[in-house]
A and B are shown apart, each in its own frame.
Chain A
């Protein structure tokens, strides 16, 4: 489940507040009282985490549903 979310594929997005490119980083994902670490692109300065549409409607949705059925 933890690996299922990993999508560290580096993105070319830029954080406008910090004028810094996003980099893969350690993120804590949590849902329904369960948390687990994942690697996701985030701003190295302010910590803005990016969840792509593909991730949100794919792997992340699957994990959410699996946790809901627990």
Chain B
């Protein structure tokens, strides 16, 4: 796989982007995480999340100007979360558990901070946590003078004392009545810079003429500081309140006073100073500091509006129960739209960004377990995720690319696609294929390409369609029984796809470059991708154009229509299908619409590589409506029938078989019968259309397979042909075991990479099969 492409895929998934509230908070408090904990009653856990990033939790919980609430997406459904009030409720309930462990440095540096506002104290906290020795100088008699003018009902003095106490216990020294001025002298800035490794000027936002001449001032009387980093004209001295970029106005006012903004100024400055003390770049990789907009996609309309909770006692704020109720209003914001829609994505417990990374890691493993193999092969490649994702990320594309890479490197697990590829080889073999012009024509105007599934599932329909096409199209309608290459494509086998492509092209040219009409949506998609020069068309659009055969109107209850996933974007065919259904008098109901259809599990060979996932996809689909379903792909129909869902094929109504039959009740013929039907169809066509003498191949031995055994074999991907060969060989060679208890005979036969086992009994002059099983490992007795 290509690393750049993988990165581009990863970047499309926004699930790991912070939600709006977290992005808007300059300190990026994980409020989504807090809300989940508060709603669960875990206020201590919520407080721990808060205090992890908030330096002065008691103070800020009271005075924060909460830009998060303005951003909260709940605003669109009842009202923004009362985030500040919830944070306060947490602080009130859990502040006592606050514990902080500063780093221990072998050689702590010393930092002087001038000014004890929220910025200065935040910087003091951050630098002390990094293990530095911090001294704060304040001109006033008490620290946080400005905050003491707040209404005590809003900011109780006890909160100030609590946070100051916290700083002191981190080792921060606060010296009041110490007005620092520029120049030399006992409280001069020169002296401060001499005696410390770094100095931070955090006197509040405004004019600061007192610091001249140690640092240069601009014409407006402010310290001249580099945008972003806050570096001043003195190499050791930095300013806390700085413009973020050169583009911001120089002389004008900074943004309005914002307590959380000031705290963030302090955090930035502490980061700068820490970088300076470590000799690191002051400017590199500082992109995500401060509040910003969120690009997380949230389907707000999925949430019914709920109004905010008002505290019973507004002066006191939320009590425990009120806080839980308010926090429960948080969605919480996540995307995962594709995960909600796709059983396969849901089954692996994550979301595409993580999956892409796991698949990429899997791809790079040289020695060791490739844990993502089954995940890669479980996707149906149905394209629903790309349809839903706000950024069109297609997991199918990712998985197909990974499969090709596995095949290239010889790392594709042998068992995942072995059966499907043997089927592919059978359906492409000389025994099963047929390519002929209509009798009496040297070339074809149109060639009918039924596709393997329809030919195996409903051979009578193939005969009926072909004869109808011949009746309505005068220039010769040829017939081409072959495989389009889809199974090889899904298996990542570029080589086999190319073989199928080349073979098709040869036949198509030989038949006079006819228009191709196919009954299968997957074939159509493959043909269009592999043969851009071939005019390929769906049977349904062609039928809509040439008209339907005469037939009495249908009597049927309303049917819910299921479109094949490979026709997701084929709007012309979808419309033709609906028009034909209507013309036959069917009342058709939509499930989620054709664009949002799901796969039947056959797509991507998911049913072979990860049958449990395929089953879940089908179960969800067939549970969507009580109606009988209407399918127009033979594979979808047979799969739903196998899972017990009554499903008719649209062809059943276009070419009705006989009066009184129940198209939705037709069982799934299964793998063995489908193969058999294909061979018989070919022989029948040769006889009926071309007058050749061909007889149906009779099996080498007639074995009775009871229905329960047959179904068990279908699940195990064992064909009747496999067990017949095993029994025939055992009977011929005499190599059999006997179970005296049951009287059963047991035999084995190795075919290719698989050993087949049978347990059977003689009955009459034949045999009846009791069990069949298989394995891939070889076992040999040591001499």
- Contact (Cβ within 8 A) B780 A28: yes
A56 and B373 in contact, given A13-B739, A48-B737, A51-B755 (Cβ under 8 angstroms) = no
In the complex, whether A8 has a CB less than 8 A from a CB of chain B is no
- Tell me the minimal C-beta distance from B613 to chain A in angstroms: 15
Is B773 in the interface zone, CB < 8 Å from A? yes
Q: Considering only CB atoms, which chain B residue lies closest to A42 in the complex?
A: B781
User: Are A60 and B740 touching (Cβ within 8 A)?
Assistant: no
Q: Which of B369, B370, B776, B779 has the most C-beta atoms of chain A within 10 angstroms of its own C-beta?
A: B779
Is the Cβ of B373 less than 8 Å from the Cβ of A48?
A: no
Max chain B C-beta neighbours (<10 A), residue from A38, A50, A64, A68: A68
Q: Indicate whether A17 sits within 8 Å of B779 (C-beta atoms), given known contacts A51-B748, A65-B415.
A: no
Do B736 and A30 have beta carbons less than 8 Å apart?
no
Report yes or no: A14 in contact with B737, Cβ–Cβ below 8 A.
Answer: yes
Residues in B whose Cβ lies below 8 Å from that of A69:
369-371, 373, 413
- Evaluate whether A56 and B414 lie within 8 angstroms (CB atoms) in the complex, with A69-B370, A69-B373 already known: no
B285 at the interface (CB under 8 A from A): no
Q: How far is the CA of A37 from the CA of B781 in the complex (A)?
A: 10
A27–B415 Cα distance when bound, in Å, is: 23
Establish whether residues A27 and B782, one from each chain, have CB atoms under 8 Å apart when the complex forms: yes
Residues on B with beta carbons closer than 8 Å to the beta carbon of A66: 369
| In the complex, residue of chain A having the shortest beta-carbon distance to the beta carbon of B737 | A13
Determine if A9 is an interface residue (Cβ-Cβ < 8 Å). no
- List residues of A (10-62) whose CB comes within 8 Å of B's CBs: 12-17, 22, 25-32, 37-38, 40, 42-43, 46-51, 53, 56-57, 60-61
Minimum distance in angstroms from A28 CB to a CB of chain B: 5
Knowing A28-B779, A69-B369, the reply to whether A16 touches B773 (Cβ < 8 A) is no
Interface centre among A27, A46, A56 (most CB of B within 10 A): A56
A50 close to B746 (CB less than 8 A): yes
Which residues does chain B contribute within 8 Å of A56, judged by CB atoms? 757, 773-775
Question: Is the C-beta of B738 less than 8 angstroms from some C-beta in chain A?
Answer: yes
- Choice from A32, A40, A63 contacting B414 with Cβ under 8 Å: A32
Would you call B415 and A68 a contact (CB within 8 A)?
yes
Q: Across the interface, name the chain B residue whose C-beta is closest to A13.
A: B737
Q: How far is the CB of B109 from chain A (nearest CB, A)?
A: 51
Interface status of B440 (Cβ within 8 A of chain A) = no
> With A and B bound together, what is the CA distance between A70 and B739 in angstroms?
37
- Among A14, A30, A53, the most chain B Cβ lie within 10 Å of the Cβ of A53
Are A65's CB and B737's CB within 8 A? no
Contact bitstring B348-382, A, C-beta under 8 A = 1, else 0: 00000000000000000000111101000000000
Chain B: minimal CB distance from A18 (Å): 10
As a 0/1 sequence over residues 749 to 783 of chain B, the CB contacts with chain A under 8 angstroms (1 = contact) are: 00000010101000000000001011111111111
The answer for the CA separation of A15 and B777 in the assembled complex, in Å, is 21
Interface pair A13/B771, CB less than 8 Å apart: no
Contact status A16-B781, CB under 8 Å: no
> Contact at A48–B775, with CB atoms within 8 Å?
no
CA–CA, A38 to B775, complex, Å? 16
Which partner residue on chain A sits nearest B373 by CB separation?
A69
B736, B746, B755: which has the most chain A beta carbons within 10 Å? B746
How far apart are A9's CB and chain B's nearest CB, in angstroms? 14
Q: Classify chain B's interface size.
A: 35 or more
Residues of chain A with a CB closer than 8 A to B781's CB: 25-28, 42-43, 47-49
- CB contacts (< 8 Å) of B249 on chain A: these are none
Give the total of A residues in contact with B, Cβ under 8 Å: 38
* Residues of A with C-beta under 8 A to B774: 56
B773 and A57 form a contact (CB under 8 A): yes
Taken together as a complex, chains A and B put the C-alpha atoms of A17 and B734 apart, in Å, by 6
B735 sits at the interface (CB 8 A): yes
| A61, B600: Cα distance in complex, Å | 26
The interface residues of chain A lying within 8 Å CB-to-CB of B746 are 13, 50
Of the candidates B371, B734, B778, the one whose C-beta lies within 8 Å of that of A31 is B778
Contact B738 A13 (CB under 8 A): yes
Contact A15 B737 (CB under 8 A): yes
Q: Report whether B369 and A51 are in contact in the complex, using a CB–CB cutoff of 8 Å.
A: no
Q: Which residues of B contact A12 (CB under 8 A)?
A: 739-741
CA distance A40 to B775 in the complex (A): 15
Cα of A12 to Cα of B738 in the assembled complex, Å: 9
Residues of B within 8 A of A42 (CB): 781
Proximity string of chain B (195-236) to chain A, C-beta cutoff 8 Å, 1 when within and 0 when not = 000000000000000000000000000000000000000000
Instruction: Choose from B734, B757, B776 the contact partner of A64 (Cβ within 8 Å).
Output: B776
- Partner of B782 from the list A17, A28, A46, A53 (CB cut-off 8 Å) is A28
**Distance of A49 Cα from B748 Cα, bound (Å):** 9
**Separation of A57 and B755 alpha carbons in the complex (Å):** 12
Cα(A43)–Cα(B415), bound, Å: 29
Task: Please determine whether A14 and B782 come into contact, CB atoms closer than 8 angstroms.
Answer: no
When C-beta atoms are compared, the residue in chain A nearest to B739 turns out to be A13
Point out the residue from B368, B369, B370, B777 that lies within 8 Å of A63, measured CB to CB. Answer: B777
Given A57-B773, A70-B369, CB of A40 within 8 Å of CB of B737: no
* A58 CB to nearest B CB, Å: 10
Min Cβ gap A54→B in Å is 9
Contacts of A48 in B (CB 8 A): 735, 737, 781
Residues of B412-460 whose CB lies within 8 A of A: 413-416
A60 to chain B, nearest CB (A): 5
CB-based contact B369/A37 at 8 Å = no
A19 CB, min distance to chain B CBs, angstroms:
10
User: B748: nearest residue on chain A (CB-CB)?
Assistant: A51
Contacts A64-B775, A70-B369 given: A49-B740 contact, CB under 8 Å? no
| Residue from A29, A32, A46, A57 within 8 A of B779 (CB atoms) | A29
Given A48-B737, A70-B369, the answer on whether A65 and B780 have CB atoms closer than 8 Å is no
Nearest-CB residue, chain B, relative to A53: B773
In the assembled complex, which residues on chain A have CB atoms less than 8 Å from the CB atom of B736?
16-17
Q: Which residue of A lies closest to B370 (CB)?
A: A69
Query: Which A residue sits closest to B372, measured CB to CB?
Result: A69
- Complex CA gap A17/B776 in Å reads 25
Within 8 Å CB of A22, what residues of B? 737
A27 to B740, CA, bound (A): 24
Report B-chain residues with C-beta under 8 Å of the C-beta of A60: 775, 777
Q: Give the CA-CA distance A22 to B734 in the complex, in Å.
A: 16
A61 adjacent to B775 (CB under 8 Å): yes
In the complex, the answer to whether B779 meets A16 with C-beta atoms within 8 Å is: no
Partner of A51, one of B741, B745, B757: B757
Chain B residue contacts of A26, Cβ below 8 A? 781-782
Whole-angstrom CA separation of A27 from B201 in the bound complex:
80
* In the bound complex, CA of A46 to CA of B781 (Å): 9
Which residues on the A side are within 8 Å of B739 (C-beta)? 12-13
Q: Are B373 and A40 touching (Cβ within 8 A)? A: no
Q: Which residue of B lies closest to A55 (CB)?
A: B775
Distance in Å from the Cβ of B263 to the closest Cβ of chain A? 50
How distant is B370 from chain A, measured CB to nearest CB, in Å? 5
Residues in B whose Cβ lies below 8 Å from that of A17? 734-736
From residue B647, how far is it (CB to closest CB) to chain A in Å?
30
Q: Which residues in A have their C-beta under 8 angstroms from that of B776?
A: 31, 64
Measured CA separation A49–B779 after assembly (Å) = 7
CB neighbours of B413 from chain A (8 A): 65, 68-69
Please give me the residue from chain A that is nearest to B778 by CB atom. A30
Inter-chain contact A68/B738, CB cutoff 8 Å: no
Q: Are B740 and A14 closer than 8 Å at their CB atoms?
A: yes
Q: What would be 29 A-B contacts, judged by CB atoms less than 8 Å apart?
A: A12-B739, A12-B740, A12-B741, A15-B737, A16-B745, A27-B779, A28-B779, A28-B781, A28-B782, A29-B777, A31-B777, A37-B782, A42-B781, A43-B781, A48-B737, A49-B780, A49-B781, A53-B773, A56-B775, A57-B716, A61-B775, A64-B415, A66-B369, A68-B414, A68-B415, A68-B416, A69-B413, A70-B368, A70-B370
Given contacts A31-B777, A51-B748, A68-B416, 9 further A-B contacts (CB under 8 A): A12-B739, A14-B738, A27-B779, A27-B782, A28-B781, A28-B782, A61-B775, A64-B776, A70-B369
